[in-house]
Amino acid sequence: MSTTISVLDAAILGVVEGLTEFLPVSSTGHLKITEGLLGIPVDDPAVVGFTAVIQVGAIAAVLVYFFGDIARITTAWFRGLRHREARTDRDYRFGWWVIYATIPIVVVGIAAQELIKGPLASLWIVAGSLIVGSAVMWLAERLGTQKRGEQDVTLADTMIVGSSQILALLFPGFSRSGATLSASLLLGLDRVSATRLSFFLSIPALLGASVLQSVTEYDNISGGVGWGNTIVATVVSFVVGYAAVAWLLKFIAGHTYTIFIVYRIVLGSLLMVLLATGAIEAQ
């Protein structure tokens, strides 16, 4: 029997998704923690599908916020497909780079589906990944030169940063944005360029996952969570996600990621205590 989520629970999860999807704190981790606190089984197929589908709201927020950039890149890409002389345009090449950089996470996502939905869905994994991911972010902050800007990004950079998303896919709590931002900093990119690259790479990866879950878990969502509540959570995640994207870009222009690193360590440690004392269940 699939799990039922109330409208209030759906709205709360929509807020959590929109607020944390693009911050380097792990939206998947926060959703699983919130579901655990609400008494919702995190390993229920309907719940797994629900949490993937509501990402559409956060993706839509990025599409709207970066509409000008995305329209420019997309136009250049289609122009390059039709006209050979247009293929020297950096936007045309960047369009292909994003596509190439998405392939690794798609392959791993399909191959490791059972692991992702099963053993790796444990809140113990989330807690450990929050802390380990914090260590990686700390190293990236200390070792990153930040001497390269957005125009310095290469195909190799994009592939490395795109592939880093696999860490968050396999280890919920590591954070997709945390992984991509850390990889970008270690490659020498400045924080604003790293953040923008993370946003662009998130679009195909998250959109693909959401569409796949909508198809594969359609019956589970219909019979359990319900599409009405799923839509409510998606709309809420869009509104909150747009505000979070705007805030992050302004914040990161003048601050380090230290506040997120400290927050992740505190949250990961607290979660371990809650799990160890039985306050919440691992799955």
Please report, in tens digits, the pLDDT of each residue of the chain (283 residues total). Answer: 456 789 999 999 999 999 999 999 988 889 988 988 888 887 777 888 888 889 899 999 999 999 999 999 999 999 999 999 999 999 999 999 999 999 999 999 888 887 877 778 788 999 999 999 999 999 999 999 999 999 999 999 999 999 999 999 899 889 999 999 999 999 999 999 999 999 999 999 888 878 877 777 777 777 778 889 999 999 999 999 999 999 999 999 889 999 999 999 999 999 999 899 988 876 6
Helices and strands: H and E segment counts in the chain:
15, 0
| C-alpha–C-alpha distance, residues 159 and 180, integer Å | 11
CB 151 within 8 Å of CB 193: no
Name the pTM for this structure: 0.88
- Domain ranges for the chain, please list them: 7-276
Q: Which sign does the torsion angle of CA 118, 123, 128, 131 carry?
A: positive
CB 201 within 8 Å of CB 101: yes
CA nearest to 47, candidates 266, 193, 198, 213: 213
CA nearest to 209, candidates 179, 160, 251, 176: 176
Residue 124 has phi, psi (to 5 degrees) of -65, -40
Q: Angle at Cα 10 formed by Cα 245 and Cα 44, nearest 5°?
A: 110
- Within 8 A by CB and 6+ apart from 180, the residues are 161, 162, 164, 165, 194, 197, 198, 201, 202
